[in-house]
Amino acid sequence: MNLIWCSKPCAHQSEGVCTLEQITAPTASTEQGCGYFVPAKQTDKAAGGQSSPPSKG
């Protein structure tokens, strides 16, 4: 197993390491300097937002 350090906001990045298990066909994007870069989905908490319970109307 090879360790590939990564700090990009990618779906394959976890705790500073690329977790892509198998080399596959590269994505069409070479954004962020990686042929396998897939933007990570952001949750409200990760984006700095807070979820609150619905207000009673």
| Location of structure tokens 């298990």 | 21
Q: Could you tell me the two tokens for 6? A: 């990564």
Q: Could you tell me the two tokens for 13? A: 């990045």
Cβ atoms < 10 Å from Cβ of 37: 21
Say whether 31 sits in a helix, a strand or coil. helix
More confident residue, 28 or 44: 28
Mean pLDDT of 27-34: 72
pLDDT at 5 over 60: yes
Say whether 3 sits in a helix, a strand or coil. coil
